[in-house]
Chain A
Amino acid sequence: MEHFTENKKNLVLVGNGMVGYKFCEKFVELGMGATYNLMVFGEEPRVAYDRVKLSTYFSGTTEEELTLATADWYEDNGILLFTNELVTEIDRNEQQIKTQKGTCISYYKLILATGSSAFVPPVQGVEKEGIFVYRTIEDLEAILAFGKRARKAVVIGGGLLGLEAAKATLDMGLETHVVEFAPRLMPRQLDEQGAQTLKNKLEALDIYIHLNKNTRSFEGKDTVKKLHFADDTSLETDMVIISAGIRPRDELARQANLATGGRGGIAVNYHMQTSDPDIYAIGEVALFQQKTYGLVAPGYEMAEVALQHILGNSEKKFENVDMSTKLKLIGVDVASFGDALGETQGARTVVLDSQTSGVYKRLNISADGKRLLGGVLVGDTESYNMLLQITNNQLTVPAEPAALLVEGNTGEGTTMKASDLPDSALICSCENVDKGTICHSVVEKGVSNLAEVKKCTKAGTGCGGCMPMVKDLLEETLNAQGKAVKKVICEHFDYTRQELLDLVKVNHIRTVDELIDRYGKGQGCEICKPAVASILASTWNEMILKDNATSQDTNDRFLANIQKGGSYSVVPRVPAGEITPDKLIVLGEVAKRYHLYCKITGGQRIDLFGARLEQLPDIWEELIAAGFESGHAYGKSVRTVKSCVGSTWCRFGVQDSVSFAIQIEERYKGLRAPHKLKSAVSGCIRECAEARSKDFGIIATEKGWNLYVCGNGGANPQHAQLLASDIDEATCIRMIDRFLMFYIKTAEPLTRTAHWLKSMEGGIDYLREVVVMDSLGIGAQLEQEMTLLVNAYTCEWREVVKNPELRKQFKQFVNSDEEDTTMKFQPVRGQRVPLAW
């Protein structure tokens, strides 16, 4: 630790919250320890923590993870930290402060970062037990402890924080009510209709909303039991969380006669100096131009300005900052930015209000129609980052501004790119990182992945909301440098997947080893080997365990899915989900014999879990004898073709979806591709098979079939898009042949069709030209290649079962026939599951 010396000047910081900590961090970054001593006093018993992420404490984030820096960090950087020590007095004449514990320290400059406290309105009975505020870790601990005994909770305040608290009590399993004084939720950020959409969404999450309610009193003996409102209604409850706004903690300033505002806050100039030039105020407690700022980003900016001013640099000034917000509620997307309520003179508005999908978007456009002033997004905030950028950088909006409301679209049918933004565009507002800084880190400092960008620039380390944009910038900058232009697979090959595919084909390469020998180097790795194995499989469709077994991902290597504890699951193919009673009985008998856990999958078939490695060939021998085949649940290959029951039974069905689905599944079963492929066929427009969430989905029409492609479930659901309509079965299969083959030949490894389409220039229109109109003249060739693959199909398990050499690969121990005794199970509802890890 550096020494505190007499000849260094004393900086004293009061308050070790988020902004106080940022002050310390910048102090260290600026190397100020050489000239100044820094002493920090914090009232809270712990080191500074991330208040913004406070609510994640409910979902299991630990105190440690919330901590911004450890006590050691302060010590290592020569900062003297006093926790649990309230500063009680400032003596401006003597330039010193006093604490509750009697410590007395003189200062050269004093910085007040005392933040705010939760505002508790003076309602009758507010002192009763069971009433809490929501500001510190202690508050949350108290809420958690009390909540264990409660069934119902009421949150007072329907603003940003109140709704966050409501989500927390909901997650604690409590019946949750929100009481708001105003006639709508988030009155400061949302307009009438946006608030209504939000209310619907929250109610759908089982949060009860009460508007226009003015709490008169809290009833109950010692503990709160009921809220009584001014309109003479009441609401019973077991506990209350008050989130009715915040009040700046300016008590020290008042005691020292510094100028403060009527509604609280310590008045500062644009250097953050208070009415005493040796005393600064930063963060939530600072009152700048009659306004306080209840967000971290402006506070961080204030910390920087104050430090620069102490260093004698008066060029840096605090200016009014952006108060845009995105609500961190899980399950509801809400954002407001810029002039959200359209209060600018002459502002025009464009509104998208979809009751069915629960999406409300409002954009406010300047009178001349050229600039975006701000807006409100409820239900879909995907475009928030881009819209915020357009607003903050005053970019020209399209002539038809409604285009901005459509998903990912920023006008003229073109998607706006992060690279179109000016260098000064603020990307991460928590850490105040602009686009120039991020690009600079890539160009000058050789940063090449997201983790490094975060480390080098701090972008995305706050709320994380800007990460999608940071990622785009990183990729676009790398691209512009020619670095990522070539997406080489890994260090072992200097080729893209497409180039490797061509090399394999032209040179008739059939093993991973051969390809490394001729075109790669080293031993390969877990990235390139499965990718190459997949290329080989897509090109030759040979039995994958023949020569390349150990280059397959573990599931492919053992033709089953590995599970917790190291056992495997078995998923036989059940085309279109149609299965005879006899086959069902076989599944049941096999499961019983081998103690397998049974579950119907999301893909309309039956999964048998808990098989030992050495049991797999025996199990499959029995299944194959009964007419089953591998379901390829383990492969990056065609999985299932789901179907609805269709016109054979259903009174609405217009085509026989089951028969067509079986035909499709039989044709493409097991086909290997860059990623897994799923399909479904629905018998009418009601779409019970969910075909539009599939890589290729087919929906019956009166005249034939509509073919949709590039849909996806999973983490980023995408509806499949219409490729061709009212086509007959033969045409449909031809189109699918071409589509799949084109995908296999051009997609990067581990890219699902939806993602592949997204990065395809020209999008679905281009794809339609290639597949349907055959604009490249490759249609016949694609069909022919597919036919070869279809003809080369064999069931992998059938081959293993009859081949003793292959069967040997499924031994647990090569030097012993013992079972693995470390595998442990526990009973659940009449079956067994692995012990949790």
Chain B
Amino acid sequence: MLNSDTIVTQRSWYKVARVEDFPANGGACIKVKDQQIAVFHFSRNNEWYASQHLCPHRQQMGLARGMIGDIQGEPKVACPFHKQTFSLKSGTCLSSDEYQIQVYPVKVEKGFVYVGLEE
């Protein structure tokens, strides 16, 4: 529902790579418009998520190499550096109140993976 303070943003879909370029049950990094983005494939239930690659804890490029999983059904990724974990639905940090990451929508069409970025 739109009301007066809803901000409508423009989202563009970027075609990034083929489904099989990504590892099963894991992540890989892509580069779009000079941004490093982590894309995760939960192959067990065929869900896809994307987030910033940068971990806000020590400003390290690493989330795509993190291990994915879930906590009570909430999909998450654990940073490879110090294991801070982040929800891939909301981007909130599940192990500390201090951090938040950006998450992006992902869609798959005809064997290709697309990531939606705001303009």
Contacts and interface: CB of A to CB of B under 8 A. Distances in A.
Interface in A781-835: 809, 811-816, 818, 820, 822-823
Interface string A502-537: 000000000011001000001111101110000000
B25 A551 contact: yes
B91 interface: no
B70 A814 contact: no
Nearest to A512: B25
A526 B61 contact: no
Interface residues of B, number: 40
B7 interface: no
Contacts of B70: 522-525
Most A Cβ at <10 Å: residue of B32, B69, B71, B76: B69
Interface string B14-36: 00110001111111111110001
Contacts of A822: 36, 61
Given A550-B26, A820-B36, A526 B44 contact: no
A553 B65 CA distance: 9
A491 B94 CA distance: 15
A340 B88 CA distance: 58
B69 A529 contact: yes
A516 B39 CA distance: 23
A562 B70 CA distance: 24
A562 B36 CA distance: 18
Contacts of B61: 566, 820, 822-823
A524 B24 contact: no
Given A550-B24, A814-B21, A815-B31, A557 B65 contact: yes
A457 interface: no
A34 to B, nearest CB: 32
A796 to B, nearest CB: 17
B80 interface: yes
Contact of B75 (A523, A562, A566, A818): A523
B31 A818 contact: yes
B2 to A, nearest CB: 34
A565 interface: yes
Interface in B44-74: 44-45, 58-62, 65-73
Given A516-B44, A820-B61, A837-B60, A809 B25 contact: no
A530 B67 contact: yes
A227 B80 CA distance: 56
B29 A813 contact: yes
B49 to A, nearest CB: 11
A562 B17 CA distance: 26
Contacts of A814: 16-17, 21-22, 28-30, 39
Given A526-B83, A820-B61, A837-B58, A550 B25 contact: yes
A554 B66 CA distance: 7
Nearest to A613: B65
Contacts of A36: none
A549 interface: yes
Interface in B74-106: 75-76, 78, 80-81, 83, 85
Contacts of A565: 60
Most B Cβ at <10 Å: residue of A525, A813, A820: A813
22 contacts: A513-B25, A516-B44, A522-B70, A523-B42, A523-B70, A523-B75, A525-B76, A526-B85, A529-B67, A550-B23, A550-B67, A550-B68, A551-B25, A551-B67, A553-B67, A566-B60, A814-B17, A814-B39, A816-B31, A820-B61, A822-B36, A822-B61
Interface of A: 491-492, 512-513, 516, 522-526, 528-530, 549-551, 553-554, 557-558, 562, 564-566, 809, 811-816, 818, 820, 822-823, 837
